[in-house]
Each structure stands twice: as C-alpha cells, then as structure tokens.
Amino acid sequence: MNSQQLRDALRLYLVMGSPNCGRADPYAVLEAAIAGGITMFQFREKGSGALEGPAKRELGARLRRLCAQHKVPFIVNDEEGLALELEADGIHIGQEDAPAAAVRQRLKNMIVGVSAHDPEEAQAALAEGADYLGVGPQYATRTKLDAREVRGPAMIERIRQGGIRLPLVGIGGIDATNAAPVIQAGADGIAVVSAIAAAGSPREAAEKLWRIINR
C-alpha cells in the first residue's frame, strides 16, 4: 500500500474491541460500521471485560475475516504475535513499544502505525520508519484510561509545521461534533472508538462522520 493509499485508508478508522460495544455483538457492530463506510479497522481488545486467550483470538479471527471480505485493512493493537497469527495488514504500537524498525523487521510487509503525542515523538517515529502516526488525545476520551494530556488539533498543526508529511490520523474523543477541526488541522483522517462502537446505529454514525470529514 503506497502513501496515498494509506492516507485514503486512514480517512475513517474504527478502533474497537468487545468492551467498547456495550451489549452489542462486536461482529455486528463492525459489519454495520463497514456498511457505514469505515476505511480501516483496528482490533484493540483492551480494558475491563476484554477477552483473553482463545476467546480473544477467536473474535480476532472472525473480525479479520469480515474485514478481508470487504477489503478493509485490518490492524492489530500492540501484539505482534496476534498480528502474525491473524495475518493482519498491520500493527499499531505505542512510543514505549519496540522501535517501529524492529517491529517491521519481524512483521514483514505489514503497516506499522505509531502513537505520537508531540513533534519530538512524531520525529522519532518517522526516524524509526513508521508508516503512519496516531496523534492524540485530541479531546477528552472515555476509552483510553491511561491517555496522556489532551492536546487538541493544535498538536497536529504543530507536527505538520514541523515538516512531518507522514500519513497521520487524530484520535481521542472524536465524534461528529468535533471531527472537522482535526481534518482542518492537517490530519489525513480520524480514528474513533465510542462515536461508532457505542452508537445506537454504528452504520448511521459512520455515515454521518464520513459526510463531515469529506465535506
């Protein structure tokens, strides 16, 4: 996938695991979100109530197959072994995880996304060969309990002003009311969790976000 294809894939990026779906079946939520137009999916089975072991792998395999059927890139959060086992299209790692270059070495040809909270971390990820950056938290988030301090879209502007042209997605508390400034700040797309996963209709939530970021 070249840089422009990756930018297009980052447009509406659903990050989700079973704890983010309320009482809904994560498979059904993902199916609806795909129908609503999400362009990439990250399997992030974390937080209270997250599945573990065989149940986690089984859910991951089902969601992976669904993404393959609809040609939606499937990314795994943090875990290299799971990314390999599920034959994921890529992995997303934090700054504290192994350098992106080492991860790519082990996960041949996979997309490697790296979290960045400021221009220094963005520069470090670029130097390590990250394929895209996840920059946040943009706004207060209910999902990531150990999220760093809210920096807002201004941080995306600072990273772009620092000369970093890498594909970049904003994440953290993004919903239909605040998505536009993230794109205006220079992000190629938005990553959302609750705005779609916890919506009454994930399909309509995705469709609404799609209209807003492509206005």
Ligand X SMILES: C=C1C=NC(C(F)(F)F)=NC1=N
Give the active site residues: 44, 115, 144
* CB contact set of 121 (below 8 Å; sequence gap of 6+): 95, 115
Residues 173-188 as b or e (16 or more Cβ within 10 Å = b): bbbeebbebbbebbbb
Binding mask 109-138 for ligand X (x = CB under 6 A): ----x-x------------------x-x--
Query: Is 108 known to sit in a ligand binding site?
Result: no
Query: Is 42 known to sit in a ligand binding site?
Result: yes
CA 84 – CA 70 distance, rounded (Å): 20
Judged by DSSP in three states, 28 sits in helix
Furthest CA-CA distance within the chain: 45
Among 29, 169, 185, 195, the residue binding ligand X under the rule CB under 6 A is 169
Among 33, 112, 171, 209, the residue binding ligand X under the rule CB under 6 A is 171
For the segment 137-166, give every residue that binds ligand X (CB under 6 A).
none
The tokens describing 126, both together, are 């670029």
Among 18, 20, 42, 194, the residue binding ligand X under the rule CB under 6 A is 42
Residues that bind ligand X (CB under 6 A): 13, 15, 42, 44, 77, 92, 113, 115, 134, 136, 169, 171, 191
Residues within the annotated binding site for Mg(2+)? 78, 97
